[in-house]
Each structure stands twice: as C-alpha cells, then as structure tokens.
Amino acid sequence: MSKPAKSDIAAAVHEAANDLYEAGIISARTMRGFDKTCLTTVEPLSPEEIVDVRRRSGVSQAVFAQYLNVTPGVVSKWERGEKRPTGASLKLLSLVKCKGLQSIA
C-alpha cells in the first residue's frame, strides 16, 4: 500500500502506519485515512494561478495542453476564465502546481 507522500516526514509516518497495518495492529479503515492524507490537495485554481503555473513551468499553452491531455484552446479558456478545470484536469494542475511539470511527465 505504498503511496507518494507530501514530505519526508509524511512518508515516514505513512510507512510506519503501513507496517502497523500489515502487522494487523491498525484496521484497513485507519490505513485508508493515512492514505488519504498523502494525496495532493485539490482546490479550484483562478485563471491567474493557472497562467502562473504554466509560466513557472516554462512552456507554451500548446505544450502545457499536451502534458495535461487537453487542447490548447481549453488551456486558453482556463487562463481567460471562460472555463474552469475540473476532475482529472484539476488534479493534474494541482500536481504541477505543487510538484512541477515533471511530476506528470
């Protein structure tokens, strides 16, 4: 049940919890709670934040769109505020914001 962690401390806590789960000391329900804490938080992004994430990544809208598996027109609409990213696209944007573009390459 290995999950990527937000930090070295979180990784150590998760590893300890996983060991306790495998030893039968904590329940699957408790382990799911630990797994959930290791997930990247997904919050709505403003158009300005999306532009900032892309620019910090150093790529054009077309290249950014390829990483996210959307069209350049969708990225443009997000950046103008005409549309809002949701679902998997929002999750990928959150990962790029937190961990950089290489986290989804």
Give this prediction's pTM: 0.70
Is residue 74, in this structure, part of any structural domain at all?
A: yes
Same domain membership, residue 14 and residue 56 = no
Quote the pLDDT of residue 39: 75
Quote the pLDDT of residue 67: 96
Quote the pLDDT of residue 69: 96
Same domain membership, residue 97 and residue 58 = yes
pLDDT in tens, the chain (105 residues): 444 556 788 788 888 989 999 999 999 999 988 888 777 778 999 999 999 999 999 999 999 999 999 999 999 999 999 999 999 999 999 999 989 999 998
Is residue 42, in this structure, part of any structural domain at all?
A: no
Non-local (6+) Cβ contacts of 28 within 8 A are 21
State the total domains in the chain: 2
Is residue 14, in this structure, part of any structural domain at all?
A: yes
Quote the pLDDT of residue 102: 93
Same domain membership, residue 95 and residue 56 = yes
Same domain membership, residue 62 and residue 29 = no
Q: What is the CATH number of the domain that holds 100?
A: 1.10.260.40
Is residue 84, in this structure, part of any structural domain at all?
A: yes
Same domain membership, residue 93 and residue 56 = yes
Domain extent, residue 14, equals: 8-37
Quote the pLDDT of residue 1: 46
